[in-house]
Amino acid sequence: MSTASIKLICAISILPLICACDQPAGERCDLDAIESLRLDADDGEVVVNVQSGDLSSTANAGAVTISGSLSSDVRIERLNVGSAAAKGLTPNFASWSVELSQAQLQAARDGEFAHLSVVATDVCGVEHASDEVQVRVDAPAQSPAPGLKLTVTPSVPGECYVPIDGSGAARLLLEADLSAAGVRVELDAIVDGEFLGVGDAGVRLIADGDRAASSPVSFRAKAAGALALVASAGPDFVLDDSGLEAVSAPSFTGASGAVTAGLALVVRPRTNGRLARCWASSSAPAMVSVSGPGVADLLIEDAVFDEPDCEQEAVIDVQFDMAAAPGVQLQLWCADTYGQIGAHSLSVQG
């Protein structure tokens, strides 16, 4: 995997070179004198310039090379980037480079970032720190996500189910403690369907205020049944307790197929979701009466339902006139609130 690089321009303002390099260790400098002089010196600063992409926005899965330059009037003995010692490419670390392995980045990771300090140490042992460098680093696979929580709601506000025809979906919100930022969460479902907004690597949690949360994720069911969604990250897992069910188009029970003219018949449309409306059509409208909930004549107008609960069933009364000829047909339709339509037919037997 290609390594990313970052350039650090160190503009550390330090006193003129007053420490002799050939003095014995511990006797190189008069530390009290230097500290008194340094009270009048400007504080040093490090200006970060990213050369090949923003390392704080794109996650790095391999080694990262950080290089830079340093300007100083005092001899610099060492320069550290995080836990790694930089190599001086020119005298006094005027230019330098360091490579941090993925293990070193993971050791410095807090949430979704590896936090790397850049510290130059002069011959007097005085440290001159730069601004911190942040490198985005994903947590390894199967990392835990403390406080993992899964919230599932229908994509249509107020609904109590999701359809199986793709016209609606279940929305997922994954949350965990802030320390789980960068952790990958795997998703699964009991019912057949597909997760949207999920890559091959799963879902990465990102910092969001005082929590770690997922980017938008949804689930579209392809078969009827309880969703029973599962989210897991290493040893941590959580089950969907929303009770949401994937529902097919309304179905019918009662009279069907060939029926006898003159008999009072009952047809019951039902759904595990919610009925929105029913309507009818006939090859001989004058030969059949069809009434739905209330007194609605379904051959003239729709019967509209506004019950808030799921698992609905209605009663439709049907009667063909005694004079109805064999083969006279009646077609019934009912739609749920997502627009899934179920059909049912009757005809006068010969």
Task: Give the rounded percent of residues in the chain with a pLDDT score beyond 70.
Answer: 84
**How does the average pLDDT of the chain come out, rounded?**
84
Whether 319 has a pLDDT exceeding 80, the answer reads yes
- How high is the pLDDT of residue 295? 87
CA-to-CA dists, residue 114 to 50, 55, 132, 146, angstroms: 16, 10, 10, 19
**Residue 4 confidence (pLDDT):** 54
DSSP state at residue 152: E
Q: Would the pLDDT of 47 be above 50?
A: no
- Given a cut of 80, is residue 184 above it in pLDDT? yes
241-277, pLDDT tens digit by residue? 999 999 999 999 999 999 999 999 999 999 999 999 9
Instruction: Please tell me which residue, 24 or 154, carries the higher pLDDT value.
Output: 154
* Rounded-to-integer distance, Cα 299 and Cα 326, Å: 20
Residues sharing a CB contact under 8 Å with residue 87, sequence separation 6 or more, in sequence order: 96, 97, 98
Which tens digits make up the pLDDT trace of 107-144?
888 878 888 888 888 888 888 877 778 888 878 878 89
Q: Judge whether residue 93 has pLDDT over 60.
A: yes
pLDDT of 342 reads 98
Q: 6 vs 181, which has greater pLDDT?
A: 181
The neighbour count for residue 261, using CB atoms within 10 Å, is 17
With a pLDDT cut of 90, the percent of the chain lying above it is 50
Residues 6+ apart with CB under 8 A from 241: none
Segment 171-177 shows an average pLDDT of 96
Which of 5-19, 104-118, 291-305, 335-349 is predicted most confidently?
335-349
Taking 80 as the threshold, does the pLDDT of residue 21 lie above it? no
Place of tokens 């009279």: 255
99/65 Cα distance (integer angstroms) = 4
For the segment 302-314, what is each residue's pLDDT rounded down to a tens digit? Answer: 999 988 889 999 9
Q: What is the pLDDT of residue 55?
A: 75
Q: Nearest CA to 328 among 262, 239, 240, 237? A: 262
Q: State the Cα–Cα distance between residues 98 and 84, nearest whole angstrom.
A: 7
Higher-pLDDT residue of 28, 281: 281
pLDDT for residue 201:
61
Looking at residue 170, what is its pLDDT?
97
Q: Which residues of 224-250 are buried (b: 16+ CB within 10 A; e: fewer)?
A: bbebbbebbbbebebebebebbbbbbb
Residue closest to 163 by CA, chosen among 154, 172, 153: 154
CA distances 208 to 174, 176, 182, 213, 290, Å, are: 11, 10, 11, 6, 56
- Residue 347: the pLDDT is 98
Mean pLDDT lowest among 9-23, 59-73, 86-100, 203-217:
9-23
Contacts of 36 (CB under 8 A, 6+ apart): none
Residue 54 is predicted with a pLDDT of 67
Q: How many whole angstroms separate alpha carbon 45 and alpha carbon 144?
A: 37
Q: Is the pLDDT of residue 161 over 90?
A: yes
What is the mean pLDDT of the segment spanning 324-329?
97
pLDDT (average), residues 165-192: 93
Structure tokens given for 95: 């230019």
Residue 22 has pLDDT above 70, yes or no: no
